[in-house]
Amino acid sequence: MITSKQRAALRALANKMDTILQVGKSGIIETTVVQVDDALTARELIKLRVLETCPLSAKEAAQELAEKTKADIVQVIGMRFVLWRRNLKEPKIEI
């Protein structure tokens, strides 16, 4: 669990980031979970986008992916959301 100050610092970092993954009309499938897990391991902080054709809202998708990858939801704005998970072996972001 992250504090509000940590969340604010992560939001500031995510503001400049590009969206790296999209959740489409298939929703969240196993390959999506694997891609998100790999991206979190490599980057710690990732921004995702939910397409209009997706059966889930951005908040629902963020909650499901956060549960399946053991990540924290940093923010959900519109159709985009940001996830964070510390890499214990090689931390890249110090908050």
Report the CATH number that the domain containing residue 65 is assigned in CATH.
Answer: 3.30.110.60
pLDDT of amino acid 44: 96
Which tens digits make up the pLDDT trace of 42-95? 999 999 999 999 999 999 999 999 999 999 999 999 999 999 999 988 888 887
Full residue range of the structural domain in which residue 15 is found: 4-84
How many folded domains does the chain comprise? 1
What are the tokens at 32?
A: 């999506």
Return d(Cα 42, Cα 45) in angstroms, integer.
9
Phi, psi for residue 93 in degrees, rounded to 5: -120, 125
Return d(Cα 5, Cα 49) in angstroms, integer.
24
The reply to whether 46 falls in a domain is yes
pLDDT of amino acid 95: 78
Radius of gyration of the chain from its Cα atoms, rounded to whole angstroms: 12
Entry pTM: 0.94
